[in-house]
Amino acid sequence: MRHTVEAAGTLLEVLERMHPGASKRTLRTMLDVGRVTVDGTVERRAKAEVPAGATIEVGAKVSKPTKATPGPKVLYEDEFVLVAEKPHGLLTVATDQGAEDTLYDRAFEHAKRARRGGRVFIVHRLDRPTSGVVVLAKDEETKEALQAEFAERDVERVYAALVEGVPAEKEGKLVAHLKESKSLQVYATPDKKGGRRVALDYRVMAEGGGYSLVEVTLETGRKAQIRVQFAEAGHPLAGDARYGAKTDPLGRLGLHAMRLAFDHPATGERIVVESPPPKRFWSVVGGRSAPTAQEELTPDEE
C-alpha cells in the first residue's frame, strides 16, 4: 500500500491516518518487522518525523509456515448463504493489510474447498470479543439483499449478555443516543441531535451470584450498542473493563449472538439460525443450561 503524506507528523501518526481501524500495537509490529518504508528506505522508528510529500509504503505481511486454516463452525448453508458461529477473540474480517486468521478467512477456505472459485462476502460483523451467529453471502447480489434487510431492520438479532448485578425490572426497553469519540470510543450522550438513537429490548433469563443472564433483542444495531447501554444502566457486561465492568468471571466478554433470523434473498423463506449461549454463561448464574420448553411449563399447562 502506497501513500503520499499530506500533513507532516511522526511515522506512527501517519500510519494511524492510513489505517484508522488498526491498533497502535499492530502498527508498531508493522514497523518492527520492517514492512514500512519512507521514500524507499525501511524505517522502524515510530517517532521518526515524516515531512509532507513523503511517500510511505507498507509492504505485504511476510508469510510464514502455518497450519491449515481451520474451517468455520457451519450452522446453516445453501448455494446462496453461509451462516457460521464466530468464536470469541476472532476477528470477523481483517482490519489492516496484515491479514491474520479471521472468520472471513475460514469461510473463504471452506467455500473454495466446496466449489472451485467459491467466494464469500461479509454482510455484517461481530466485535472481536463477541461470539455467535454471523451470516455471509456467496455472491454480491445476495450480499446486497441481506445488507438491505439489516438496514431496514428486517433481521432479528438476539444476544445473550452476562451482566453484573440484577436489573430492577426483569424485562424492558433501553433507549439511548450514542456518539463515537476521535479515539473510536462509543459513549452515550444526552445530545439527541448529535447522537444516534439506539434501542433494545431485554429479558432476564436467569440470575445468581451477583450476575444476570439477559436475552437482548436489538431494535437498532450500532457499534458497541449493547455494551454501552447496559453500562449506562448500571449493569456493565461481565469482562468489559472498557465500559466499567469490575469482574471477569468468564475470561472474556459476556456477549454471545444467539439467534439471527432473516428472509432468504432467493426463496423468501424466513431462516432462523440459533447458537445457544455457552454453558459457562449459565454456570456463572448457577444454572447448567437453558431450561427446556417442558421445564418452562407451569403445572396447569402440562
Kindly report the backbone phi and psi dihedral angles of residue 181, in degrees, each rounded to the nearest multiple of 5, phi listed first.
-75, 170
Task: Please work out, in degrees rounded to the nearest 5, the angle formed at the alpha carbon of residue 85 by the alpha carbons of 230 and 290.
Answer: 60
Catalytic residue among 32, 78, 101, 127: 127
Q: Which three cell numbers stand for residue 52?
A: 509532507
Q: Is 127 a catalytic residue?
A: yes
- CA dist 57 and 37 (Å) reads 5
Amino acid code (one letter) for 89: G
- CA dist 22 and 37 (Å) reads 18
- CA dist 236 and 280 (Å) reads 18
Q: Which residues pair with 206 in a beta bridge?
A: 213
- Residue 262, SS3 per DSSP: strand
The neighbour count for residue 4, using CB atoms within 10 Å, is: 9
DSSP notation for 35-83: -EEETTEE---TT-EE-TT-EEEEPPPPP---PPPPPPEEEEE-SSEEE
Q: Provide the annotated active-site residues.
A: 127
